[in-house]
Amino acid sequence: MRSFAIVVFLLAIVSSALAKSPIPDGWRIPTEADYTLDWNESISNGSIPFHVTADFNGDNVADDAYILLSTQSKAWALFVILNTKDGKPTIIKLDENNGQTLPQLMGLSVVKPGDYVTACGKGYNECDPNEPKSLHLDISALGYFQFESAESFFWWDKQTKKFYRTWISD
């Protein structure tokens, strides 16, 4: 019963955030019924595995990142909603899965500014020509991971005004 109350509380928090952020057509926020596998385990520590908030593009406005589920199929996707002071957010789809991997095996985190050694820098694989061995973040990034497995960071480049993905572990 305690787990049910926690899920209801967490979903209320997410629903409140979504009231401020638009949901792309064809997608939906996970519901209580979607809390299975690793998402179910996150209830005990009070986290929302499919939603994080931080300033991801350095404009001093909090942005939202969500794993959203398709309303049409078993697909799911990772979206960032870049909020603005004037209230006109930009929605960016960063990744999409056809449902072959369950969304409940994935999670999100906020990565603090700092220096990080990348997967190729750790020797997990050879670095591609444009792949850095280390990554310096001036602003928060989005951590996107499979529980107890691989992780990548989506980080904003202020010059190109785009997100880039860098693998941190395999």
User: For 124-136, what is the mean pLDDT?
Assistant: 91
Residue 97 has a CB neighbour count (10 Å cut-off) of: 17
Tell me, what's the pLDDT at 113? 98
Task: Answer yes or no: are the C-beta atoms of 53 and 73 closer than 8 Å.
Answer: no
Please enumerate in sequence order all residues whose Cβ is within 8 A of that of 111, keeping only pairs 6 or more positions apart, or say none.
Answer: 137, 140, 141, 142, 143, 153, 155
């941190």: which residue's tokens? 168
pLDDT in tens, 68-122: 999 999 999 999 999 999 989 999 999 999 999 999 999 999 999 999 999 999 9
Tell me, what's the pLDDT at 74? 97
pLDDT in tens, 1-14: 455 554 555 555 55
Domains of the chain, residue spans? 2-169
Tell me, what's the pLDDT at 8? 52
**E strand residue ranges, 61-150:** 63-70, 76-82, 90-97, 106-111, 114-117, 134-137, 141-146
pTM of this structure: 0.87
pLDDT in tens, 22-65: 899 999 999 989 999 999 887 767 789 999 999 999 999 999 99
Largest CA distance in the chain: 53
